[in-house]
């Protein structure tokens, strides 16, 4: 089949572009090498929808940050994912920092960011009593928010599929050739044809551009380590808290996630595209930085850690636009604030495609919403009882820490979860204090039953990330299958 547009990469950027395109009478394909969408950098970040005042002046980051920030409200109205505008604080420890905050305030106001306000130390102590007593002032941005980024990717993709997107996961693009009437896109699962190709391949963006002979962005990779803290600290800090930044990083932040638990990080160190390791040095830097803002934070509260990799273009800005290969667009180098900017980037890409000759005929049957999954833990006791009466699977607990039921795990599977991470990031099963000690086996079995395979065939996140060993008598057969 020949598509009007093929997008490579189902991170938040590719998913947002795909969903926008399905508003028009077009055939659209989205290729993703991973087993599910959103498992690249879009899963492994701080989950902040930045206030809109922060990106450097005159950059594409600045042009898309505030617009993106505003568009998240529209997306959250239509799609079920965790999103809350909890506000952020940038804090000052000395006069130089205060001068920086003043510049940030003016920059934000020039961009039309609403609600920005300087707080003195007294106001800050009242609002956030657990922040360091050494802080002398803060800039408050109520427009800032937090999101569960993986839920947003799942919801964007589900909505796009509902509106006709052809989503091809576990499909790695291996070569692209431009012909007389479009592109032949070779994948490890056959060849696709499309008139236009959008390169949203994240850290592999340059690799993809090279395949077709388009300009690269000179990508380098900057890893960020993040550390999640125990529920004991829920409410200890209620707004995202930033120090004043360094030239390469926003610094170590303290972020109350959408679910309330605190996250601290990220670091910013040059790395390889696929280096998602956490390190002792990273942990030390993160906890030292976090304690400078919030002295009551301790390493001993850490329950989980992860790292994500930023794709950093040579000019440190986003690379969004036409290339020397007509019909092939680069949307790469989307480092922070790429999550924030994604919905605005998607609209800009639609304009670029139109400029390149794609006819945009609006559909009148586009369905903007998808059904919200039931969240048992968020129901009151009467609602919980009703849910169990309606379907006894909501009466069987799969994850005790996060109170996730078997019914929710099965719903996640019906919506496309095929791995343990797919279930975890859709339902929160495995995200609590015991980190899967109780629920892993239950989720494994439900996944295996739904795919009619042995539990040893189920992976954490695709590839060779199996979790359970095959039963002894199945061992030989399964080894052959895995090979």
Ligand X SMILES: Cc1cc2nc3c(=O)[nH]c(=O)nc-3n(C[C@H](O)[C@H](O)[C@H](O)COP(=O)(O)OP(=O)(O)OC[C@H]3O[C@@H](n4cnc5c(N)ncnc54)[C@H](O)[C@@H]3O)c2cc1C
Q: Give the nearest distance from C-beta 249 to ligand X in angstroms.
A: 10
Please, which of residues 202-261 interact with ligand X by CB under 6 A? Answer: 202-204, 208, 224, 226
CB atoms within 10 A of CB 303: 17
Q: Which stretch binds ligand X (CB under 6 A): 12-20, 127-135, 320-328, 362-370?
A: 12-20
Q: Give the nearest distance from C-beta 333 to ligand X in angstroms.
A: 9
Q: Give the nearest distance from C-beta 394 to ligand X in angstroms.
A: 32
Q: Pairing relation of β-strands 2-8 and 28-31?
A: parallel
Q: Give the nearest distance from C-beta 441 to ligand X in angstroms.
A: 28
Q: Which is nearer to ligand X, 395 or 416 (CB)?
A: 416
HSE toward the beta carbon, residue 307, CA cutoff 13 A: 23
Q: Which of 20, 32, 128, 216 binds ligand X (CB under 6 A)?
A: 32
Q: Which stretch binds ligand X (CB under 6 A): 85-93, 106-114, 119-127, 200-208?
A: 200-208
Q: Which is nearer to ligand X, 105 or 286 (CB)?
A: 286
Q: Which is nearer to ligand X, 278 or 340 (CB)?
A: 340
- 184: which 2 tokens? 């032949």
Q: Which is nearer to ligand X, 309 or 467 (CB)?
A: 309
Q: Establish if 309 lies at the interface with ligand X (CB under 6 A).
A: yes
Q: Which is nearer to ligand X, 252 or 409 (CB)?
A: 252
φ/ψ of residue 299, rounded to 5:
-55, -30
Interface map 268-307 toward ligand X (x if CB under 6 A): ----------------------------------------
Q: Which is nearer to ligand X, 325 or 468 (CB)?
A: 325
Q: Give the nearest distance from C-beta 311 to ligand X in angstroms.
A: 7
Q: Give the nearest distance from C-beta 472 to ligand X in angstroms.
A: 35
HSE toward the beta carbon, residue 7, CA cutoff 13 A: 34
Give residue for tokens 């020039």: 110
Q: Establish if 263 lies at the interface with ligand X (CB under 6 A).
A: no
Q: Establish if 169 lies at the interface with ligand X (CB under 6 A).
A: no
Beta-bridge mates of residue 405: 397
Q: Give the nearest distance from C-beta 267 to ligand X in angstroms.
A: 8
Number of residues interacting with ligand X: please give it, by CB under 6 A: 42
Q: Which of 3, 4, 7, 14 binds ligand X (CB under 6 A)?
A: 14
Q: Establish if 145 lies at the interface with ligand X (CB under 6 A).
A: no
Q: Which stretch binds ligand X (CB under 6 A): 2-10, 83-91, 278-286, 321-329?
A: 2-10
Q: Which is nearer to ligand X, 266 or 327 (CB)?
A: 266
Nearest Cα to 151, choosing from 83, 236, 74, 86?
Answer: 83
Please, which of residues 180-199 interact with ligand X by CB under 6 A? Answer: none
Q: Establish if 11 lies at the interface with ligand X (CB under 6 A).
A: yes
Q: Give the nearest distance from C-beta 130 to ligand X in angstroms.
A: 21
Q: Which is nearer to ligand X, 48 or 387 (CB)?
A: 48
Please, which of residues 322-381 interact with ligand X by CB under 6 A? Answer: 334-340
φ/ψ of residue 188, rounded to 5:
-75, 5
Q: Which stretch binds ligand X (CB under 6 A): 7-15, 81-89, 131-139, 474-482?
A: 7-15
Q: Give the nearest distance from C-beta 175 to ligand X in angstroms.
A: 10
Active site positions, annotated: 50
Please, which of residues 33-92 interact with ligand X by CB under 6 A? Answer: 33-34, 39-42, 44-48, 50
Please, which of residues 112-131 interact with ligand X by CB under 6 A? Answer: none
- 432: which 2 tokens? 């609590």
3-state SS track over the chain: CEEEEEEECCCHHHHHHHHHHCCECCCEEEECCCCCCCCCCCCCCCCEECCCCCCCCCCHHHHHHHHHHHHHHHHHHHCCCCEECCCEEEEECCHHHHHHHHHHHHHHHHCCCCCCEEEEHHHHHHHCCCCCCCCCEEEEECCCEEECHHHHHHHHHHHHHHCCCEEECCCCEEEEEEECCEEEEEEECEEEEEEEEEECCHHHHHHHHHHHCCCCCCCEEEEEEEEEECHHHCCCCCCEEECCCCCCCCCCEEEECCCCCEEEECCCEEECCCCCCCCHHHHHHHHHHHHHHCCCCCHHHEEEEEEEEEEECCCCCCEEEECCCCCEEEEECCCCCHHHHHHHHHHHHHHHHHHCCCCCCECCCCCCCCCCCCCHHHCCHHHHHHHHHHCHHHHCEEECCCCEEHHHHHHHHHCCCCCHHHHHHHHCCCCCCCCCCCCHHHHHHHHHHHHCCCHHHCECCCCCCECCCCCHHHHHHHHHHHC
Q: Which is nearer to ligand X, 69 or 456 (CB)?
A: 69
Q: Which of 266, 289, 327, 373 binds ligand X (CB under 6 A)?
A: 266
For ligand X, the binding residues (CB under 6 A) are 8-14, 31-34, 39-42, 44-48, 50, 172-173, 200-204, 208, 224, 226, 266, 308-310, 334-340
């Amino acid at each position: 089949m020949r598509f009007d547009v093929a997008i490579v990469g189902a991170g938040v950027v590719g998913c947002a572009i795909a969903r926008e395109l399905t508003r028009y009478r077009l055939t659209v394909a989205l290729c993703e090498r991973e087993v599910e969408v959103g498992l690249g950098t879009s899963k492994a970040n701080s989950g902040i929808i930045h206030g809109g005042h922060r990106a450097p002046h005159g950059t594409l980051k600045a042009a898309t940050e505030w617009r993106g920030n505003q568009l998240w409200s529209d997306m959250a109205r239509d799609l079920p994912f965790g999103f809350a505008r909890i506000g952020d604080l940038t804090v000052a420890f000395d006069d130089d920092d205060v001068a920086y905050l003043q510049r940030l305030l003016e920059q934000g106001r020039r961009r039309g960011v609403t609600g920005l306000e300087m707080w003195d130390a007294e106001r800050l102590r009242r609002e956030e009593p657990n922040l360091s007593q050494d802080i002398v002032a803060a800039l408050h941005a109520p427009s800032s928010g937090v999101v569960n980024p993986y839920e947003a990717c799942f919801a964007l993709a589900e909505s796009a599929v509902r509106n006709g997107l052809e989503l091809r996961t576990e499909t790695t693009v291996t070569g692209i050739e431009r012909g007389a009437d479009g592109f032949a896109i070779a994948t490890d699962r056959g060849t696709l044809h499309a008139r236009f190709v959008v390169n949203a391949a994240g850290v592999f963006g340059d690799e993809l551009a090279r395949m077709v002979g388009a300009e690269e962005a000179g990508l380098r990779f900057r890893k960020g380590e993040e550390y999640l803290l125990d529920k004991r600290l829920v409410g200890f800090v209620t707004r995202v808290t930033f120090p004043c930044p360094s030239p390469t990083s926003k610094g170590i932040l303290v972020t109350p996630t959408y679910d309330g638990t605190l996250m601290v990080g990220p670091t910013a160190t040059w790395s390889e595209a696929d280096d998602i390791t956490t390190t002792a040095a990273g942990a030390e830097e993160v906890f030292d930085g976090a304690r400078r803002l919030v002295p009551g934070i301790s390493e001993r509260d850490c329950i989980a850690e992860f790292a994500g990799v930023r794709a950093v273009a040579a000019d440190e800005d986003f690379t969004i636009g036409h290339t020397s290969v007509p019909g092939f667009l680069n949307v790469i180098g989307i480092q922070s604030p790429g999550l924030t900017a994604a919905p605005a980037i998607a609209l800009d890409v639609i304009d670029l495609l139109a400029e390149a000759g794609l006819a945009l005929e609006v559909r009148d049957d586009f369905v903007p919403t998808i059904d919200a999954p039931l969240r048992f833990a968020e129901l009151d006791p009467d609602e919980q009882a009703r849910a169990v009466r309606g379907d006894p699977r909501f009466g069987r607990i799969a994850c005790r820490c996060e109170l996730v039921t078997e019914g929710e795990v099965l719903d996640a599977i019906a919506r496309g979860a095929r791995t343990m991470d797919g279930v975890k990031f859709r339902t929160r099963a495995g995200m609590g204090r015991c980190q899967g000690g109780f629920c892993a086996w239950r989720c494994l079995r439900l996944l295996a039953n739904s795919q009619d395979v042995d539990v040893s065939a189920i992976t954490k996140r695709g590839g060779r990330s199996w979790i359970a060993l095959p039963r002894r008598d199945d061992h030989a057969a399964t080894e052959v299958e895995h090979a």
